[in-house]
Amino acid sequence: MNNITAGIIGGLGHIGLIQAACLAELGYVTIAYDKDQNKFKKIHEKILPFQEPGLEELITKNMAKKRLSFTTNPESLSQAELIYICVNTSPLASGETNLSQVFSALNEIMELSPKKTTVAIKSTVPVGTAAILTKILAENNLAEDIKIVSNPEFLSEGSGVTDFWHPTRVVVGSDSRKAAEFVASIYSPPQVPVIITSSENAELIKYASNAFLATKISFINEIARFCERAGADIRVVSKGIGLDPRIGTDFLEAGAGFSGPCLEKDLKSLIFQAEMYHEKPILLKSVLDINEQQRKNIVKKLENSLGRLERKKIAVWGMAFKPETDDVRSSHSLPILKHLLSMGALVTVHDPWVRSPEQTGIAENELPEISWSASPYGAAENKDAILILTAWSDYRKLDFSKIKNIMSNPLIVDGRNMFDPEKMQSLGIKYLGVGI
């Protein structure tokens, strides 16, 4: 089986690069094609387009073994029997998913004049997209030569490589059972359930999974607000409900809400798709509203303690949307920072992996007048408050007696519930979490 040549379109993106490196590690000759000349140049200088634990080692090893190569020329994929589409599907202003990169990937594949190629869509695409691509192939008399399979990806950033090796399930949807089985056979570890189904089911499984995860988070955040009023502690409540195996302990951490490039985008897209069918996705919309409110509430906690935030000095710990990634795309930290700036606060930012605005791709005018500090202590010095937005484990190792002494007002508002309030209080720090 490993004499198959695999191609990746979008091979230097988050999904594409992990997919490419892991397929090569499995022994497949893998060609990762990406239009981005800059990322292409950098990968040959051993500079990865993003950080992901364990990825660099895999790339270095498999490039040296000549199983993994990168290209900016789509013609290099002409020998691939299996091509994964891993391109970006970000939303348009209307909420509709922008499929232009998916269609252009299909055009590139059609121009290769391939014989017997299977195309697996890894990008998250609206329900019905695989059927549209199949129709385009039929209109071009290529439906016999090229088979489309929806093969959604469930990996999380920060654990992408581990998630590739240990999937919870493999989902393949296609109107060609043979093509679906072929894609499933590429990597389906024993004991892992494989769902072979229609492309519509496969596409919706991806959206519904992310929407459900977001729902769990908004649910626990709503209960957290109640806890604050009622004198309960959400961490204990969360544990108490999560131990029911029908509920499960994961994704029940209250905080500043969910963010990142997937959950919010996919939730919005699912709402848009449901409305296209004249459905009213009441629950999904509430999930989004609660999340928005969570971001506002965390700033409100600062105001409640400090009064007007104008000229108040705030250290923000955490720019990445979650730990173990340098990804700030759609990070909750951005709207929260903008909110603080709009209120006249003076903000200093620290993040162990995101160290400058250039690194984030954020335009300077988007976040004017913020300072960046190389250390959490430096950020905290002479500040009226620390606002924690990303649960970096490094923060747990800090000396909080020292932090108390260098702050002008020892207040920590923790949007990730990282610390024990009583311990903080014993150090003389006023500590406000979410739902505690």
β-bridge mates for residue 119, sequence order = 83, 148
Contacts of 167 (CB under 8 A, 6+ apart): 154, 188, 189, 192
**Closest C-alpha among 400, 381, 391, 387 to residue 302:** 387
Does 262 qualify as catalytic in the annotation? yes
Q: Lay out the site mask for ligand UDX across 209-238 (x = CB under 6 A, - = otherwise).
A: -x--x---x---------------------
Assign residue 38 a region (left: φ > 0; alpha: ψ between -120 and 50; beta: otherwise): alpha
Q: Is 170 in the site for ligand UDX (CB under 6 A)?
A: no
**Closest C-alpha among 150, 415, 431 to residue 295:** 415
Q: Is 262 in the site for ligand UDX (CB under 6 A)?
A: yes
Judged by CB under 6 A, which stretch of 28-36, 100-108, 253-261, 349-357 contacts ligand UDX?
Answer: 253-261
Measured from the CB atom, is 71 or 209 closer to ligand UDX?
A: 209
Q: Residue 435 Cβ, how far from ligand UDX at the closest point, in Å?
A: 12
Q: Lay out the site mask for ligand UDX across 272-301 (x = CB under 6 A, - = otherwise).
A: ------------------------------
Residues in 135-154 at the binding interface with ligand UDX, rule: CB under 6 A: 153-154
Cα–Cα distance for residue pair 376/378, rounded to 1 Å? 5
Q: Residue 312 Cβ, how far from ligand UDX at the closest point, in Å?
A: 25
Cβ–Cβ < 8 Å for 303, 309: yes
CA 436 vs CA 221, 302, 429: distances in Å: 11, 15, 15
Q: Residue 189 Cβ, how far from ligand UDX at the closest point, in Å?
A: 17
Cα–Cα distance for residue pair 285/280, rounded to 1 Å? 9
Cβ–Cβ < 8 Å for 384, 312: yes
Amino acid at 89: T
Q: Is 309 in the site for ligand UDX (CB under 6 A)?
A: no
Please identify which residue in 156, 201, 305, 409 interacts with ligand UDX, judged by CB under 6 A: 156
Q: Is 18 in the site for ligand UDX (CB under 6 A)?
A: no
Assign residue 215 a region (left: φ > 0; alpha: ψ between -120 and 50; beta: otherwise): alpha
Q: Is 320 in the site for ligand UDX (CB under 6 A)?
A: no
Please identify which residue in 187, 251, 272, 372 interacts with ligand UDX, judged by CB under 6 A: 251
The residues binding ligand UDX (CB under 6 A) are 153-157, 210, 213, 217, 251-253, 255, 258-260, 262-263, 321-322
Catalytic residues: 262
